[in-house]
Amino acid sequence: MDAFNFTRATTLDQAVQSAAQSPTAHSGATVRFVAGGTNLIDMMKIYVERPSQLVDINDLPLDKITPTPNGGLVLGALARNSDVANHPTVLRDYPVLSQALLSGASPQLRNMATTGGNLLQRTRCVYFRDTAHACNKREPGTGCSAIGGHNRMLAILGTSPDCIATNPSDQNVALTALEATIQIQGPKGQRSVPIHDFYLLPGTTPNRDTILEPGDLITSVTLPPPTPGSKSLYLKLRDRAAYEFALASAAVVLTLDHGKIHTARVALGGVGTKPWRSLEAEHILQGRSADPATFRLAAEAALKNAHPQSENAFKVELSKRCLVRALTTATRNA
């Protein structure tokens, strides 16, 4: 691990100013906010992340989970994953999020990891994590060793000739299906960004995962009010039952009316370069009967544009079956 400067912020303004006004912020070096550190510190130990300055934000008042006036819910950026997963309102109104969080990592990590940190979780691509190999996400312009290499765990949706790294988060797949909004405070003020606009496709700049600019700090995530009678589910398929990243996952949020699907929100994990919202599947589902034939049509549409690599073509069918199973389970006894 490299040497770095360390500061502790006690207010939001101080945190943003510490990052934006740091001498390293203007020299091309990296300033990072740290909370739970469950991803960042790991990356620093293996020299993938090499910040010149860390700004500790654990003293900021951003750990609350509070209702909104219109019936939604605000998750503070420092709310721990275990607290969110077991919160009574989340369990009642947003079970898909609780299921996603509880399927990830381990109890010890969930007790440390934060909502904001999870939003910024970096890929687990083996080439990104190994500085001996070329990786455009880690070092732009060096190439992508995963293309033609060991790519069993990597993406089949949203890829580019420069990067096929998978977004590893479970939380963010559920937040995508829930149409969450992310609140950000930075040097230019405050702004709210829908989660589907927050993540960037790799394109020719795979080193940029999100729209965040230097000094930007995630302060909270807002969930819209739940639709009465909605059904939701998160299903994760993986090599082992615990402490494992998804080969394929699906988050679905549905409302039904007399056996037909009135509204549908579908997001996929384990297969996309970002949490993957499938508008194609949603279009197929809306207005149709909640039956196996409809679910299979939706799954075919969701994976229509998949581009598998040398070792992960199995993910196409696996993801289809994952989505069909999630839809079937969510609508059972509806």
- Domain ranges across the chain: 5-56, 231-331
Predicted confidence (pLDDT) at residue 23 exceeds the cutoff of 60: no
In this prediction, residue 21 carries a pLDDT of 74
- The band of 27, judged by pLDDT with boundaries at 50, 70 and 90, is very low
pLDDT digits (tens, 9 = 90+) for 74-101: 999 999 999 999 999 999 999 999 999 9
Structure tokens at 101: 């969080």
Tracing tokens 């101080």 back to the chain, one arrives at: 14
The crossing angle, in degrees rounded to 10, of helices 314-331 and 292-302 is 140
**Phi first, then psi: what are they for 304, rounded to 5°?**
-55, -35
- The band of 29, judged by pLDDT with boundaries at 50, 70 and 90, is low
- The band of 280, judged by pLDDT with boundaries at 50, 70 and 90, is very high
Question: 222 and 72 in contact (C-beta within 8 Å)?
Answer: yes
Q: Which residues contact 146 (CB under 8 A, 6 or more apart)?
A: 125, 126, 127, 135, 154, 163, 164, 165, 309
Whole-prediction pTM value? Answer: 0.97
Question: 9 and 35 in contact (C-beta within 8 Å)?
Answer: no
- How many other C-beta atoms can be found within 10 angstroms of the C-beta atom of residue 76? 23
Q: Which residues contact 95 (CB under 8 A, 6 or more apart)?
A: 232, 233
In this prediction, residue 30 carries a pLDDT of 87
Mean pLDDT of the chain: 96
pLDDT digits (tens, 9 = 90+) for 309-333: 999 999 999 999 999 999 999 999 7
Spatial CA neighbour of 16 closest among 30, 33, 28: 33
Rounded CA-CA distance 122/245 in Å is: 12
The CATH classification of domain 231-331, taken from the options 3.40.50.280, 3.90.1150.10, 3.40.1260.10, 3.30.390.50: 3.30.390.50
Predicted confidence (pLDDT) at residue 237 exceeds the cutoff of 60: yes
Predicted confidence (pLDDT) at residue 171 exceeds the cutoff of 70: yes
Task: Give 243: exposed, middle or buried? Use CB within 10 Å, 0-12, 13-18, 19+.
Answer: exposed
Predicted confidence (pLDDT) at residue 24 exceeds the cutoff of 80: no
Strands (E), the chain: 5-8, 31-34, 53-56, 65-67, 73-76, 181-186, 189-194, 217-223, 231-237, 248-257, 260-269, 276-277
Structure tokens at 174: 């559920």
Q: Which residues contact 100 (CB under 8 A, 6 or more apart)?
A: 170, 171, 173, 174, 234, 236, 249, 251
Rounded CA-CA distance 328/127 in Å is: 36
In this prediction, residue 230 carries a pLDDT of 97
| H helices present in 232-313, as ranges | 279-285, 292-302
Predicted confidence (pLDDT) at residue 31 exceeds the cutoff of 80: yes
Predicted confidence (pLDDT) at residue 22 exceeds the cutoff of 90: no
Rounded CA-CA distance 168/157 in Å is: 13
